[in-house]
């Protein structure tokens, strides 16, 4: 399995039989350096953790261009169907979806979810994390945007994820120090990738606090550059 960090909370996961984009905030991301076409080439599935603009991003346009299936909660899927995404596969917290080459399970996340269209706020369901379980490759837990919460222990027990994609930018999510506490206390990850930092001035500009707080632990920290990749 090849994992590529596209900046912010956006990732590309390449499996033998599928290409997954998670939270593809690309064209509006001031730190994204590639092109939407390159980042989305061959995409078969788009997984969205919640409905904020910096996570839905280019999902509708990519879905229309590639025919990729959009996987998210019901409200986000219906919203994107209205934006022209024809292939949707909705789920919700606690549920799982079999996508052939992998399965997706929806978890809790402590955050909010919605967008604004023509000055009107639109509720887009509760926020989620997602656990992706490939048939070939380690399971991946993208926490979404979240604070630490005690039920992370149940997520670890039920799903036993091996790779963690962890928000560390503070203000809207966990700080690096709190994120490291979540990793240490609740999970037995083989590796973690920090995300949701450096995109805007209001966020922590680097993952140093997270990296420092995990020194001496048994988990490897893969702090990727934007566009950087890792094989798992």
Q: For tokens 């993208």, name the residue.
A: 142
**pLDDT tens track of the chain, all 232 residues?**
999 999 999 999 999 999 999 999 999 999 998 999 999 999 999 999 999 999 999 999 999 999 999 999 999 999 999 999 999 999 999 999 999 999 999 999 999 999 999 999 999 999 999 999 999 899 999 999 999 999 999 999 999 999 999 999 999 999 999 999 999 999 999 999 999 999 999 999 999 999 999 999 999 999 999 999 999 9
Q: pTM score, two decimals?
A: 0.98
Q: Which of 52, 82, 104, 33 is nearest to 63 (CA)?
A: 82
- For 102-113, b where at least 16 C-beta lie within 10 A, e where not — what string? bebbbbbbbbeb
Spans of all domains in the chain: 2-222
Measured on CA atoms in the order 183, 186, 189, 195, is the torsion positive or negative? negative
Please answer whether residues 127 and 146 qualify as being in contact, where contact means their C-beta atoms are separated by less than 8 angstroms.
Answer: yes
CATH superfamily of 2-222: Ribonuclease Z/Hydroxyacylglutathione hydrolase-like (3.60.15.10)
**pLDDT value, residue 39:** 98
Q: Residue 194 and residue 213: Cα distance in Å, rounded?
A: 12
Strand partners, 209: none
pLDDT at 216: 96
Q: Which long-range contacts (CB under 8 A, 24 or more apart) does 91-96 make?
A: 92/125, 92/126, 92/128, 93/126, 93/128
Query: Is 5 within 8 Å of 198 (Cβ atoms)?
Result: no
Q: What is the pLDDT of residue 154?
A: 98
- Give me the pLDDT at residue 217, please: 96
Which pLDDT score, from 0 to 100, does residue 174 have? 98
Could you give the maximum distance between any two Cα atoms of the chain, in Å?
A: 50
């Amino acid at each position: 399995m090849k994992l590529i960090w596209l900046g912010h909370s956006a990732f590309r996961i390449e499996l033998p039989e599928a290409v997954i984009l998670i939270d593809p905030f690309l064209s509006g991301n001031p730190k994204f350096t590639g092109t939407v076409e390159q980042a989305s080439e061959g995409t078969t599935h788009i997984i969205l953790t919640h409905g904020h603009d910096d996570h839905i991003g280019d999902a509708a346009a990519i879905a229309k261009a590639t025919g990729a299936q959009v996987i998210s909660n019901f409200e986000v899927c219906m919203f994107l169907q209205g934006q022209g995404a024809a292939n949707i596969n909705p789920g919700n917290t606690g549920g799982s979806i079999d996508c052939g080459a992998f399965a997706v399970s929806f978890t809790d996340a402590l955050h909010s979810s919605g967008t604004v269209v023509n000055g009107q706020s639109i509720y887009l369901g509760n926020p989620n994390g997602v656990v992706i379980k490939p048939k070939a490759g380690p399971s991946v837990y993208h926490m979404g945007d979240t604070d630490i919460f005690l039920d992370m222990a149940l997520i670890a027990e039920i799903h036993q994820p091996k790779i963690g994609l962890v928000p560390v930018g503070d203000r809207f999510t966990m700080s690096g120090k709190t994120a490291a506490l979540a990793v240490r206390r609740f999970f037995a990850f083989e590796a973690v990738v920090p995300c949701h930092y450096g995109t805007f001035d209001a966020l922590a500009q680097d993952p140093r606090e997270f990296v420092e707080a995990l020194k001496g632990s048994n988990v490897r920290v893969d702090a990727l550059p934007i566009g950087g990749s890792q094989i798992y």
